[in-house]
Structures are given as structure tokens and as C-alpha cells.
């Protein structure tokens, strides 16, 4: 088989796997998560802001010269933050930028790397006793725990510390999961194995969402902004389950929540409807949690925000009440919102809204 044919077959296999991963909201949500393949000195990686779920419908893979990118990481050169400067323009038909997590993929020597925001993993990765919890479950695998670092160069440097161990599995604190293997099939098998090992039985609220009350609150409007029901009914669980609501009140658990929903969770006070909450805050939050009733989304929020609001409910439902949870600090949140690469991703999400409108 000529080399170009086998390369295409591998890329096609990766795209098919990407679409499968992207279609499962318990594994990845919206534009989150990314996949890559290293072949002939080129790293093919998901484009920033695109959805893995769309891997078979549109061209979401971007070619990156990863050796020079690795040199930049080794030199702690800030250009490593701008992976798009390493894109191989002649082969980049879409003109899109590579994922903001390109350095993570480049650093791992394995040919195939899958990075997902698996909700079972996140539910463990936000705990201060994560290593204790995960160790027995991942026994026998070559895995490493990576303390929280902002995606981009800081996360790359944190992962680089484990290079000697050549791990196949990385649990990223307050973030998600990375698995790496030499073939697409092996990477998928490893992902399924790890997900199974980290699986938690979600708590489910005994009460149903109060859709009538929520719809009434949404219909009132809040000046220029209005609210709507979330796309997925699961989203309401965050507000229906008291233990989930208590954890949500602590703050932001992982980066994509901050990027697509803003800082932390807004919880309505007793007797407050959406307009009362917006008046109290002086702005209309992306989503509002109403204890015992459910969740409302600001009407102009893009599909990625709905995916993230559902993710929150799925993650919270898997964290036992009283578990020691670490939320992102104010400094860590500022690092995310003040970062050009994330502003680009937010802009793509807003464009998605305009396309739908
Ligand atoms: Zn990520």
C-alpha cells in the first residue's frame, strides 16, 4: 500500500473515531476535546473551535509541524502558545487554527492521542484526593496525574515533567483525560477501558424539573435579554439535586465551563425569577440554576453553552456529597479569560450563533 493511501486510511479512521467520541456528551461536549495523529513528521490535529462530532461532515483536521513546536516548548518560548504559527499552510485547506491543546498532543510520543472531557474522569479530577481515588482503578496502566495548569504552554510544561515515564494515560486535574497509543484502534480500546474503570453511577434527582415555572420565568424577560429552556433535560439535574447544587455553588470546576458559561454558576435566591437575578447582578448570566426547579439558559447562548451546561449537571451528579472538591482560583480563571487563544474559540462559538440565527 503506498504511504499516502495508508496515511489517508489512518486519518479517515481517526475522523470516524472523532465523530464517535464527539457524539457522546458523557465523553466530550461542544468544541471541547481533541484528537490527533502523527504521521510523516506532521501532527494532524482537530481545529480550534470545531466540534469532534462534525469530524465526518467537515474538514476539522489541521496539519502542524510538531518538531519545531516541541523545540519552542523545550525553550519555554512563548511562541509555543501560538500553535497556529506552526501550521503547514500548504496542506491546510480549511485555513483553521489548530486546537489550543496542540502542545499536549505534540509532547506525547505516541502516534495517536485522544483528549476528552469525560464526565466520569472530571468528577474525580476535581477532587483533592484524586490520586487516591484513581490509583486503584487504573492499576496496571501506565498513567500519570497532572496537577492543574492552564491549557497551552503551562499544561505542556506540566505534562513534560512525566515524559520519562512515557505514560499512556494522563488524568488532568480540574480538566479531563488524555489517552495515547500507536494506532487509532488501540487508542479507542484504551479510552473505553479507562472510561469503564473510572465510571461512576450518577445520582439522579427524585423530583422532575418544574418546566411550567421555568417557562413562566423565562417568558417575563429581563429588559433586552430573554431566557429559554436548555436543549437537554439532563441540564436541570444541577439544580434539582441538592448535593449537586451545593458543589456548583463552590465555583468553576474546569476551564471549558469558564469559557462557555462564565465564572462559576449563578444560583437564584429564594423567590427570584430570571429578571430578578439579572437585576441583582447587573448583568444577565449565561445560565441560572433555580433550586428544586431547574435551569434556564440566556436565549442568545450558542449550542456549545448548552453542551457545557449539560456537562455541569453530568459531572456534579457523579461527585458524592461531601467529597473534597477543588475549584479554579480567581487567578486561574483570569488566565483563561485573558488568553488570546480562548478569545478566538469564544469568537467561533458566537459565529455559530449568528449562523443559526
Ligand atoms: Zn481540554
CA of 292 from ligand 1 middle (Å) equals: 31
Which tops the pLDDT comparison, 349 or 295? 295
Mean pLDDT of 47-69: 93
Distance 68 CA to ligand 1 centre (A): 22
Query: C-alpha cell of 184?
Result: 487509532
130 CA from centroid of ligand 1 (Å): 18
CA–centroid distance, 78 to ligand 1, in Å, is: 20
Task: Tell me the per-residue pLDDT of 237-290, one tens digit each, with 9 for 90 and over.
Answer: 999 999 999 999 999 999 999 989 999 999 999 999 999 999 999 999 999 999
What global pTM score does this model have?
Answer: 0.92
Q: What is the pLDDT of residue 224?
A: 64
Position 5 confidence tier, pLDDT thresholds 50, 70, 90: low
**How much distance in Å is there from the Cα of 117 to the middle of ligand 1?**
6
What confidence category does residue 342 fall into, taking pLDDT thresholds of 50, 70 and 90?
A: low
Q: Averaged over 38-64, what is the pLDDT? A: 94
Q: How far is the centre of ligand 1, averaged over its atoms, from the C-alpha of 305 (Å)?
A: 15
- Whether 35 and 115 have beta carbons less than 8 Å apart is answered as yes
Instruction: Give the least confident one: 58-72, 141-155, 167-181, 336-350.
Output: 336-350
At residue 344 the predicted structure's pLDDT band, cuts being 50, 70 and 90, is low
The rounded Å distance from CA 52 to ligand 1 centre is 12
Amino acid at each position: 500500500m503506498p504511504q499516502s493511501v495508508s496515511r489517508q486510511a489512518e486519518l479517515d479512521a481517526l475522523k470516524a473515531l472523532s465523530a464517535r467520541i464527539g457524539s457522546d456528551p458523557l465523553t466530550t461536549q461542544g468544541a471541547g476535546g481533541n484528537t490527533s495523529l502523527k504521521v510523516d513528521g506532521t501532527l494532524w490535529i482537530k481545529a480550534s473551535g470545531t466540534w469532534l462530532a462534525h469530524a465526518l461532515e467537515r474538514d476539522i483536521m489541521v496539519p502542524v509541524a510538531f518538531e519545531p513546536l516541541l523545540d519552542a516548548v523545550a525553550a519555554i518560548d512563548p511562541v509555543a502558545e501560538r500553535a497556529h504559527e506552526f501550521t503547514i499552510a500548504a496542506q491546510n485547506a480549511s485555513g483553521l487554527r489548530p486546537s489550543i491543546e496542540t502542545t499536549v498532543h505534540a509532547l506525547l510520543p505516541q502516534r495517536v492521542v485522544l483528549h476528552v472531557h469525560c464526565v466520569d474522569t472530571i468528577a474525580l479530577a476535581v477532587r483533592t484526593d484524586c490520586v487516591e481515588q484513581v490509583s486503584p482503578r487504573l492499576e496496571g496502566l501506565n498513567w500519570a496525574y497532572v496537577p492543574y495548569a492552564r491549557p497551552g504552554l503551562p499544561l505542556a510544561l506540566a505534562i513534560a515533567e512525566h515524559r520519562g515515564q512515557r505514560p499512556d494515560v494522563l488524568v488532568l486535574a480540574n480538566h479531563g483525560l488524555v489517552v495515547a497509543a500507536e494506532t487509532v484502534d488501540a487508542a479507542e480500546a484504551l479510552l473505553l477501558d479507562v472510561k469503564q474503570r473510572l465510571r461512576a453511577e450518577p445520582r439522579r434527582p427524585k423530583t422532575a424539573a418544574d418546566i411550567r415555572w421555568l417557562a413562566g420565568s423565562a417568558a417575563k424577560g429581563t429588559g433586552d435579554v430573554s431566557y429559554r429552556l436548555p436543549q437537554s433535560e439532563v441540564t436541570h439535574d444541577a439544580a434539582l439535586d441538592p448535593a449537586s447544587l451545593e458543589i456548583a455553588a463552590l465555583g468553576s470546576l474546569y476551564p471549558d465551563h469558564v469559557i462557555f458559561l462564565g465564572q462559576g454558576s449563578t444560583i437564584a435566591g429564594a423567590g427570584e425569577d430570571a429578571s430578578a437575578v439579572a437585576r441583582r447582578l447587573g448583568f444577565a448570566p449565561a445560565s441560572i440554576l433555580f433550586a428544586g426547579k431547574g435551569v434556564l439558559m440566556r436565549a442568545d447562548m450558542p449550542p456549545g453553552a448548552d453542551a457545557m451546561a449539560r456537562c455541569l449537571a453530568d459531572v456534579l451528579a457523579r461527585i458524592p456529597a461531601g467529597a473534597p472538591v477543588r475549584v479554579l482560583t480567581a487567578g486561574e480563571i483570569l488566565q483563561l479569560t485573558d488568553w488570546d487563544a480562548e478569545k478566538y474559540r469564544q469568537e467561533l462559538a458566537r459565529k455559530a450563533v449568528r449562523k443559526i440565527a
